[in-house]
A and B are shown apart, each in its own frame.
Chain A
Amino acid sequence: MIHAEGLHKQFATIHAVNGVTIQAQPGEIFGLLGPNGAGKSTTIRMITNIIRPDSGTISYSGVPFSDSIRSSIGYLAEERGLYQKSRILETILHFAGLRGMSPKTAHRHATDWLGRFELAGSESRRVEELSKGNQQKVQLIIALIHQPQYIILDEPSSGLDPVNQELLRAILDQLRDEGRTILYSTHQMEQAERLCNRIVLINKGEVMLAGTVQQVKEEHGGNNVAMEFEGDGRFLRQLPMVMEANIYPNGAELALQPNATLNDLLPHISQQLRITRIERVRPSLNSIFINTVRRTTGEAITTTNPTP
């Protein structure tokens, strides 16, 4: 279990992390969500002992960070890169060596992983010869090769194509089933929704929401309508029965007033839009994320809609 309690970190004038608590259990993927600059990476850097929190405690299965715990953590940083001139296998073996693996075991595991990530045969190629996505796979191998009990991944899928995102998802599912503790940081809600058991959403260094994905949805599962249409949907935001609206080019997700029904809504929209689909739904994590952030930030962030 990774347990961080009441973390605080202040940089000069910015309160980057303000009382964040995380409790990731073995056998689960714990989602650390938040918009850019919310404090996710700072939180993770404190958990991985790269920077020290101003206050708060961090423990791994009840034990504070120590040198032996260091080698049972697999960490993929958001700011990540490799030695460009070095060869792939020797790079992997170097970092495996830093985690205390013997060269022989490391070599065997590296070959395994390279095969799994479809990089077999690239052992002696230079890192700079690989595409960005493939370099990222090497970084993932480096994070996972020493079979860490605690896996901490900061935006692991950015830069991966959909096929490789799927591959990563399968690997993470397997690691979760093996009982590893996985802390997964992202601003892509669709991924978090599919992958994570529990989440915490932070914004401006503070926790906004916490719980299982189901709990969060139920708590915020108001009276929501999802629709697809042709036409300009911007007027939807002004309708009296609409509390919140996330409007996309060919659709929208609306949060209605508690007592409003679809029947109240339809007369207002059937004139102006050619509706292809409309249904009552539970809100997506994405719209909860956007609405929560928008409420706390007090400004429109429709331009930062993450793409699925």
Chain B
Amino acid sequence: MNWKRILQIARWEFTQKAKAKSFIISLILTPVMMLLFGLLPSMLADKGKSSTKVIGLVDSTGTVMAPLSQRLKLDTLPNGQPAFVLQSYPTASTPIDSAIAAADRAILAETMEGAVVIRDSAGTVVASYRSTNPSNISLVSSFQRRIEKILNTERMIAAGIDTAAWSRANQPLEMETVKVTEKGGEKSEGFLQTFFAAYIGIILFMILVLTTGQSLVRSLVEEKSNRIMELLVSSGTPQELMWGKLLGLSALGATQVVAWVIIGMAAVGYFAVVISPDILTSFPLILLYLLLGYAFYASLFIGIGSLVTTEQESQVITGYLTMVLVAPMAFAFVVMQDPDSFSVAALSYVPLLTPTLMMIRLVTKMPSPAEIAGTIAVMVAAISVVIWASGKIFRTAILMYGKRPTFREVLWWLREA
């Protein structure tokens, strides 16, 4: 193999694809879209809280008004103004239905956001929320909780129960999680954060594998359908072509992922908090599995991709490989709950699943050294087999135009030469 030619091919693949408009668009547009989807809803939600809302209160029990307005004083907007102001519609002198009608008029005139109606019928209290927009769930549930507490306290007082003793007896319990490690039981508040950092890492790994895999398959299809293959394999060996492509397009995929991470970190800012010391200890192993997984999938993509002759076929193929790649994410939470179970341990030895499963396991509970060594050995063996087979298939398949080889033909190529 001639390294100069491999590098020449790698450089060509990288620069030609990097100059394409689609690459530049995806480099910028993808993080922008992600940020928009991630930040827009919370930005919109905050926007809704920017002004004080007037809420009407029609209370036939007559006990809620004072304690509720007391509690609402604690709920303020970012500018210090109260979030809600109560407008009472007394029911002592007027029938409750005309009080409700008065509140409805104010709601329709848009001077009031909504109104809470509390009726006491034979000891059972029924509450309702009336508004032009009754689907404001967070508002409804916060009023529900507050009024429920007020009424409970009223009833306890009426029944002669000591409310202070009651709330002591009803103290909520906080449960913190502590991860026990070799270095002694440390309180690790950041465990979930660590886990999600790993989760994001795995997702980035998948994006890297998929974008590179797709561009590998697409460039092979292009060279086949444009009849460039013969020129290429007369200028260098198929192996050089394969390695050059792998190198160039991997660099391209890595550039993309790194750019996204930088844009993401710059935009979100708090990323640094998430990286706890926990993830740093298992980081070399995570990186190793990441590289092994990448090598495995990329060589799989290039072998299968060289069999493909049209863009449609390439989409079907990459679609199935994507499903296999993403599958372990579906049971990531099962793995997290029971990382030692036999099925998880057994699946960790399936090369298609090894990298993802082991990365999840590394951050939840460190697998035994024997398992780590075993899975790495399996991965290395699987990669060698896939590279060997892909190389053989690649060498013959790239010169086949129009006709897709049969499964039997592919087996023949593997046996021959």
The answer to whether A and B belong to the same complex is yes
Which residues of A come within 8 Å of B, CB atoms? 45, 48-52, 67, 70, 73, 75, 77, 79-86, 94-95, 97-100, 139, 142
- Residues of chain B with a CB closer than 8 A to A73's CB: 234
Excluding A73-B234, A83-B16, A97-B8, 9 further A-B contacts by CB distance (< 8 Å) are A49-B234, A50-B399, A51-B399, A70-B234, A75-B234, A79-B229, A95-B235, A98-B235, A139-B231
In whole angstroms, how far apart are the Cα atoms of A125 and B27 in the complex?
26
Asked if A94 and B8 make an inter-chain contact with CB atoms under 8 angstroms apart, the answer reads yes
- Nearest-CB distance from A199 to chain B (Å)? 23
Instruction: Tell me which of B57-65, B103-111, B220-228, B366-374 binds A.
Output: B220-228
Nearest chain-B residue to A98 (Cβ)?
A: B235
Nearest chain-B residue to A128 (Cβ)?
A: B226
Asked if B417 and A52 make an inter-chain contact with CB atoms under 8 angstroms apart, the answer reads yes
Asked if A85 and B399 make an inter-chain contact with CB atoms under 8 angstroms apart, the answer reads no
Asked if B233 and A142 make an inter-chain contact with CB atoms under 8 angstroms apart, the answer reads no
- Per the 8 Å Cβ criterion, residues 232-247 of B in contact with A are 233-236
What total of A-B pairs shows CB separation below 8 Å? 56
The residue that B227 contacts in the complex, of A45, A67, A81, with Cβ under 8 A, is A81
Asked if B5 and A98 make an inter-chain contact with CB atoms under 8 angstroms apart, the answer reads yes
The residue that A99 contacts in the complex, of B16, B20, B235, B401, with Cβ under 8 A, is B235
The residue that B230 contacts in the complex, of A79, A83, A85, with Cβ under 8 A, is A79
Asked if B230 and A80 make an inter-chain contact with CB atoms under 8 angstroms apart, the answer reads yes
Interface hub of B226, B399, B417 (most chain A Cβ within 10 A): B226
In whole angstroms, how far apart are the Cα atoms of A82 and B228 in the complex?
6
- Nearest-CB distance from A98 to chain B (Å)? 4
In whole angstroms, how far apart are the Cα atoms of A117 and B5 in the complex?
27
The residue that B234 contacts in the complex, of A50, A52, A94, with Cβ under 8 A, is A50
Knowing A73-B234, A77-B231, A99-B235, the reply to whether A83 touches B2 (Cβ < 8 A) is no
- Nearest-CB distance from A4 to chain B (Å)? 16
> Taking the complex as formed, is B357 at the interface, i.e. its CB lies under 8 A from any CB of chain A?
no
In whole angstroms, how far apart are the Cα atoms of A88 and B9 in the complex?
17
Which residues of B come within 8 Å of A, CB atoms? 2, 4-5, 8-9, 12, 16, 20, 222, 226-231, 233-236, 399, 401, 417
- Residues of chain B with a CB closer than 8 A to A81's CB: 226-228, 231
In whole angstroms, how far apart are the Cα atoms of A79 and B233 in the complex?
12
Asked if A84 and B2 make an inter-chain contact with CB atoms under 8 angstroms apart, the answer reads no
In whole angstroms, how far apart are the Cα atoms of A28 and B116 in the complex?
102
Interface hub of B222, B226, B230, B417 (most chain A Cβ within 10 A): B230
In whole angstroms, how far apart are the Cα atoms of A111 and B205 in the complex?
44
- Residues of chain A with a CB closer than 8 A to B236's CB: 70, 98
Asked if B4 and A100 make an inter-chain contact with CB atoms under 8 angstroms apart, the answer reads yes
Interface hub of A48, A81, A100 (most chain B Cβ within 10 A): A81
Nearest chain-A residue to B225 (Cβ)?
A: A81
In whole angstroms, how far apart are the Cα atoms of A298 and B286 in the complex?
69
- Nearest-CB distance from B236 to chain A (Å)? 6
The residue that B12 contacts in the complex, of A67, A94, A139, with Cβ under 8 A, is A94
Asked if B2 and A67 make an inter-chain contact with CB atoms under 8 angstroms apart, the answer reads yes
In whole angstroms, how far apart are the Cα atoms of A48 and B229 in the complex?
14
In whole angstroms, how far apart are the Cα atoms of A81 and B228 in the complex?
5
The residue that A98 contacts in the complex, of B8, B222, B228, B399, with Cβ under 8 A, is B8
- Residues of chain A with a CB closer than 8 A to B8's CB: 94, 97-98
- Residues of chain B with a CB closer than 8 A to A97's CB: 8
Interface hub of A81, A82, A98 (most chain B Cβ within 10 A): A98
Asked if B222 and A83 make an inter-chain contact with CB atoms under 8 angstroms apart, the answer reads yes
> Which 3 A-B residue pairs are closest in the complex by CB-CB distance?
A81-B227, A77-B230, A81-B226
The residue that B401 contacts in the complex, of A48, A79, A84, A98, with Cβ under 8 A, is A79
Nearest chain-A residue to B409 (Cβ)?
A: A12
- Nearest-CB distance from B395 to chain A (Å)? 10
